[in-house]
Amino acid sequence: MAYTSMLSGVHQAIGNTPMVHLSRITKGLEGNIFAKLEYLNPGFSKKDRIGLQIIEEAEQAGILQPGQTVVELTSGNTGTGLAIVCGVKGYQFVAVMSKGNSLERARMMSALGAEVVLVDQAPGSVVGQVSGEDLANVEKVAQQITKKRNAFRADQFHHVGNTHAHEYHTGEEMWLQTNGDIDVFLDFVGSGGTFAGCAKTLKKHKPDIRCYVVEPASAPFYANKAQTNPNHKIQGGGYSMDLPLLDKSLVTDYIHVTDEEATAVARELAKKEGIFAGFSSGANVAAALQLLKGPEKGANIVLTINDSGLKYLSTDLYK
């Protein structure tokens, strides 16, 4: 018997996430925030999309062979997406992650069949605050494992599939769900793929859409401003490192959010909107609120809710 609505695997449930009008958190402000609920992907984050896109593009290009091991460095979300996709497609996956990232992520990846390698943080780094130096240490280990096992490196910071996932899918979904009524797109950048892909697609449809990069106030690296502290609580981004996928020609301006602002807005999202999300989602909405109170008063702003608050229960986000 054929089931017309049946999926052949959970990887086919990735994408087509809902869009929600954040009308409660914006009460009293002119303008709107439209939030795409990426934490409703199977791995509870937007990174499921790039896990699927990178693997399928590698398969199509013939650079990922049946039975080959897949390796990637991760803050936990890309690794979870890759663990899901590799699991259903039959690849062994090795996730390489800093010990500074929340423990829930490592446990989830392991439960999904990944081999998880945890890397010590750099001297002076704080647990829960992963710096660019910490990430560089993770990168070294990922390279060593890739070479030793003759593995396929998913390489989210360089693989164009990262951008394609959002150019071909997320951005197009945003456009359709809002009927094109978008003035502003913003994103807290990790690898740069979400920003680059969505901005490219949205500007294709409407060239005057303004696109903002969000980064930690203590590490305004992409805005070429002085850093006061490369360590911050907003996991999954703000690494103060060059991002090959980040097309700066798409950037209208840069917005800076403190740890305290990201935390407070994430908590407010949960209480007022029923959206239980992580630090970077709080940073995105905090940045959007900044814009509505300032240079983008009256605008329609679209953004992503990047991952679930369930991934931060061991942190102080919801204490």
Tens-place pLDDT, residues 18-40: 999 999 999 999 999 999 999 99
Check whether 144 has a pLDDT greater than 90: yes
Q: What is the pLDDT of residue 124?
A: 83
Q: Which of 95-109, 170-184, 273-287 is predicted least confidently?
A: 95-109
Instruction: Give the H/E segment covering residue 167.
Output: none
In the chain, what is the straight-line distance between the N-terminal and C-terminal CA atoms, in Å?
A: 50
Give rounded-to-5 percent helix, strand, coil for the chain: 40, 20, 40
- 97/51 Cα distance (integer angstroms): 16
Residues of the chain with pLDDT > 90: what percent? 86
Q: What is the pLDDT of residue 183?
A: 98
CA angle 88, 39, 259 (to 5 degrees): 130
Q: What is the pLDDT of residue 120?
A: 93
Contacts of 187 (CB under 8 A, 6+ apart): 194, 195, 198, 199, 212, 213, 214, 284, 303, 304
- Segment 146-161 shows an average pLDDT of 97
Residues of the chain with pLDDT > 70: what percent? 99
Predicted confidence band at 230 (pLDDT cuts at 50, 70, 90)? confident
- 35/22 Cα distance (integer angstroms): 7
- 111/31 Cα distance (integer angstroms): 42
CATH 3.40.50.1100 placement within the chain: 10-40+170-312, 47-153
Number of H-type helices and E-type strands within the chain = 9, 10
Check whether 1 has a pLDDT greater than 60: no
- Segment 165-177 shows an average pLDDT of 98
- 40/127 Cα distance (integer angstroms): 27
Tokens of 160: 């164009």
DSSP state of 170: I
- 130/231 Cα distance (integer angstroms): 6
CATH label, 10-40+170-312, candidates 3.40.50.1100, 3.60.15.10, 1.10.240.10, 3.10.20.740: 3.40.50.1100
CA angle 267, 105, 318 (to 5 degrees): 20
Q: What is the pLDDT of residue 2?
A: 62
Contacts of 55 (CB under 8 A, 6+ apart): 64, 70, 82, 85, 86, 89, 91, 154
pTM over 0.75? The answer is yes
- 84/154 Cα distance (integer angstroms): 14
- 181/302 Cα distance (integer angstroms): 10
- 315/296 Cα distance (integer angstroms): 33
- Segment 42-56 shows an average pLDDT of 98
- Segment 284-292 shows an average pLDDT of 98
Tokens of 148: 């030793």
> Which CATH number describes the domain made up of 47-153?
3.40.50.1100
Active-site positions?
47, 280
DSSP state of 166: I
